[in-house]
C-alpha cells in the first residue's frame, strides 16, 4: 500500500472525513442511489408466507456480514400490492432507519422492506459493498440525524442528503475487495476469542456445579439425594428446601415511583435489568427517598436476589441493603453460608426455570422457589466450597475479561481499517488480493 503522502488530498466535507483524495468526489447518497421506502401489508393471510423476501430492522441487526437474502417473514405479490412497499433489485443496500438506526446489508436477491428500512437502489455504476462499508462506520452520525419523540427515525430525504466519499468505480471495487479480505481475517480472530469465552463460561459453570453437588474432597462415599435435579451427593450431606435456608421476600413497586426520578441517594431499588448475570453483582440505578422507602420492604446486605420473570433463575447477591420490584424474590439467608447458597442457586438455574408456571408469561413464584431443594453440606464445608469458588470464579472472570478486551481492540481495529480505506487514507490503487481472480469478478 502506498503512503498517504504520495497522493494529493483536498479539503471537503463528508460524514466521515474533512479531506479526500483529489481524484475522488464528495456526494450525497441521492446522487448515487434512489432512496426507496417500505411498508407492512395488512394481516390478511393471503398477503403473507409468499415467495417475496420482506426485511425488517430486526432482520438486519441479527446479521453476521453484509449480505441478506431473506427476512424472518415473506410476503406474496398481493401483499406487495396491498401496501406501499416496493421491490428493489439485487445489489441494493438495505438500511435500518429506525430502532436501531444504521444496521444494513446488501440484497442478494430482489426483495422489499417494512417501513423501518430504506433501500438504496444504485442509480449509476457503483460498488454497493464499498458504500455498505462506508455506511457501516457511520451509525453514530446517522443516529445523530434521527428525529422523533417516541422513537428516533431518519427520513428518506435525510438519508439521501447524507454525504460520503466517492472514489472512481475501479477503486471502489478494489477497496471493497481489500476490506472483504482484511475484515474476514479480523472477524475470524474475533470468532476465536468468542469461542474461548464460551469455553471459559462452560468451565466456570462446570466447576460451580461439581463443587456444589460433589464437594471438594475426592473419593468420598456418595448416596442418592432422592431428587433428579441433584443426583448423587456425598453421603454425609443432606438436602434442604430454600424455605429452611432463608426468609423469602417478594419485592414491590412504590405507588409514586416517578418521585424517585433524579434522586441519587436513598434506599436502592432494583429491577432484574440491574443484574450483572456474569459477575453475580447488582448495580442499582434507582434510589428511593424516605417517603417512598417506607412503602417497600428492604432486605439486608448479602441477600440473594432471584429473577422470577424474564431471565428466570438469574441470581445475584446484594452488596448493600436494598429493595426490589415484584419481579424479584429475595432470600435472606439463615443457617447457611450466604456465598455457598449463592453458588448453589446458580448451579440450579435450569431447575429454577423448570419450576416457572404460566403459558403467556412464565413466573417463578415465591411458593415454588421456597420448595427448591439444594445440597446441604456441614457448615465448614459450605465455607470451604464458597472460598474455593470465589477464587476460581475470580480467576476465570479475569480470563474472560481479557478475551473481551481483545475482542474490543480487534473491533476497533476493524472500524479504523474501514475508515482509513473508504476515506482514501490508505492508497489501495495497486493492491492485489491473494487470489487475483477476485478482482476480475468484482470489477
DSSP letter, residue 49 = E
Strands 67-68 and 101-107, sheet pairing:
parallel
**Residue 443: pLDDT over 80:** no
Distances (CA, A) of 288 to 253, 264, 291, 297: 11, 9, 8, 12
What domains can you pick out in the chain, each with its CATH number? 25-166 (3.90.220.20), 219-376 (3.90.220.20)
C-alpha distances (whole Å) from 268 to each of 295, 309, 395 are 13, 20, 29
Look at 5-9, 114-118, 332-336 and tell me which has the smallest mean pLDDT.
5-9
Query: Tell me: the pLDDT tens digits for 377-415?
Result: 999 999 999 999 999 999 999 999 999 999 999 999 999
Burial class (CB in 10 A: 0-12, 13-18, 19+), 82: middle
Task: Please report which confidence band the pLDDT of residue 437 belongs to, taking 50, 70 and 90 as the band edges.
Answer: low
pLDDT classification of 3: cutoffs 50, 70, 90: very low
Q: Can you give the pLDDT at residue 4? A: 45
CA dihedral 22, 23, 28, 32 (to 10 degrees): 180
For cell 472525513, the residue is: 17
pLDDT of 359 reads 80
Say if CB 142 and CB 154 are below 8 A apart. yes
Arithmetic mean of pLDDT over the chain: 93
E-strand stretches of 289-408: 304-307, 315-317, 323-324, 328-333, 373-376
Count other Cβ atoms within 10 Å, centred on residue 265: 8
Percent of the residues in the chain that have a pLDDT greater than 90, as a whole number: 84
Q: Which three cell numbers stand for residue 106?
A: 446488501
Contact 14, 165 (CB under 8 A): yes
pLDDT, average across residues 65-83: 94
Region 215-241: mean pLDDT is: 95
Please state whether 352 falls in left (phi above 0), alpha (psi between -120 and 50) or beta: alpha
pLDDT, mean of residues 253-277: 92
Dist. CA 302–CA 319, nearest whole Å: 6
Mean predicted confidence (pLDDT) in 351-364? 92
Long-range Cβ contacts of 183-190 (<8 Å, 24+ apart): 183/414, 183/417, 183/418, 186/410, 186/413, 186/414, 186/417, 187/64, 187/414, 189/410, 190/407, 190/410, 190/411
Confidence of residue 423 (pLDDT cuts 50, 70, 90): very high
pLDDT above 50 for 436: yes
User: So what's the pLDDT on residue 31?
Assistant: 96
Of 10-19, 116-125, 254-263, the range with the lowest mean pLDDT is: 10-19
Of 9-13, 74-78, 290-294, 438-442, least confident by mean pLDDT is 438-442
pLDDT at 2: 46
Report the predicted TM-score, pTM, of the whole model to 2 decimal places.
0.82
Q: At 103, which helix (H) or strand (E)?
A: strand 101-107
Per-residue pLDDT averaged across 351-373, rounded? 93
Mean pLDDT, residues 414-442 taken together: 82
| pLDDT at position 5 over 60 | no
Amino acid at each position: 500500500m502506498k503512503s498517504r503522502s504520495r497522493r494529493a488530498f483536498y479539503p471537503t466535507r463528508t460524514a466521515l472525513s474533512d479531506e479526500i483524495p483529489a481524484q475522488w468526489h464528495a456526494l450525497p447518497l441521492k446522487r448515487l442511489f434512489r432512496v426507496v421506502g417500505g411498508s407492512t401489508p395488512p394481516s390478511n393471510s393471503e398477503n403473507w408466507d409468499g415467495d417475496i423476501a420482506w426485511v425488517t430492522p430486526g432482520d438486519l441487526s441479527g446479521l453476521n456480514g453484509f449480505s441478506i437474502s431473506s427476512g424472518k417473514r415473506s410476503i406474496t405479490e398481493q401483499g406487495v400490492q396491498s401496501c406501499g412497499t416496493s421491490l428493489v433489485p439485487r445489489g441494493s443496500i438495505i438500511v435500518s432507519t429506525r430502532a436501531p438506526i444504521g444496521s444494513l446489508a446488501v440484497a442478494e436477491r430482489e426483495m422489499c422492506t417494512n417501513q423501518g428500512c430504506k433501500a438504496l437502489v444504485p442509480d449509476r455504476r457503483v460498488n454497493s459493498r464499498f458504500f455498505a462499508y462506508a455506511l457501516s462506520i457511520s451509525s453514530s452520525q446517522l443516529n445523530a440525524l434521527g428525529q422523533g419523540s417516541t422513537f428516533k427515525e431518519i427520513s428518506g430525504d435525510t438519508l439521501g442528503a447524507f454525504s460520503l466519499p466517492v472514489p472512481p468505480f475501479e477503486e471502489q471495487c478494489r477497496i471493497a475487495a481489500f476490506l472483504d479480505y482484511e475484515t474476514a481475517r479480523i472477524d475470524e480472530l474475533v470468532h476465536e476469542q468468542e469461542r474461548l469465552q464460551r469455553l471459559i463460561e462452560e468451565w466456570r459453570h462446570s466447576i460451580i456445579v461439581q463443587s456444589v453437588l460433589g464437594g471438594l474432597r475426592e473419593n468420598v462415599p456418595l448416596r442418592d439425594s432422592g431428587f433428579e435435579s441433584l443426583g448423587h451427593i456425598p453421603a454425609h450431606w443432606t438436602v434442604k428446601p430454600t424455605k429452611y435456608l432463608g426468609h423469602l421476600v417478594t419485592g414491590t413497586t412504590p405507588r409514586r415511583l416517578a418521585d424517585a426520578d433524579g434522586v441519587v441517594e436513598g434506599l436502592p431499588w432494583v429491577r432484574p435489568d440491574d443484574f450483572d448475570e456474569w459477575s453475580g453483582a447488582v448495580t442499582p440505578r434507582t434510589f428511593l427517598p424516605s417517603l417512598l422507602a417506607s412503602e417497600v420492604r428492604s432486605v439486608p446486605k448479602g441477600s440473594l436476589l432471584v429473577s422470577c420473570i424474564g431471565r428466570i433463575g438469574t441470581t445475584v447477591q446484594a452488596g448493600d441493603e436494598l429493595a426490589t420490584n415484584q419481579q424479584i424474590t429475595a432470600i435472606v439467608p439463615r443457617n447457611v453460608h450466604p456465598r455457598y447458597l449463592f453458588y448453589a442457586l446458580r448451579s440450579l438455574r435450569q431447575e429454577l426455570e423448570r419450576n416457572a408456571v404460566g403459558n403467556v408469561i412464565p413466573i417463578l413464584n415465591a411458593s415454588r422457589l421456597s420448595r427448591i431443594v439444594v445440597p446441604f453440606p456441614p457448615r465448614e464445608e459450605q465455607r470451604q466450597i464458597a472460598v474455593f469458588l470465589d477464587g476460581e470464579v475470580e480467576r476465570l472472570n479475569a480470563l474472560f475479561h481479557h478475551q473481551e478486551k481483545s475482542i474490543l481492540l480487534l473491533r476497533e481495529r476493524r472500524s479504523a481499517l474501514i475508515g482509513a480505506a473508504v476515506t482514501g487514507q490508505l492508497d489501495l490503487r495497486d493492491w492485489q488480493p491473494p487470489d487475483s481472480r477476485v478482482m476480475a469478478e468484482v470489477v
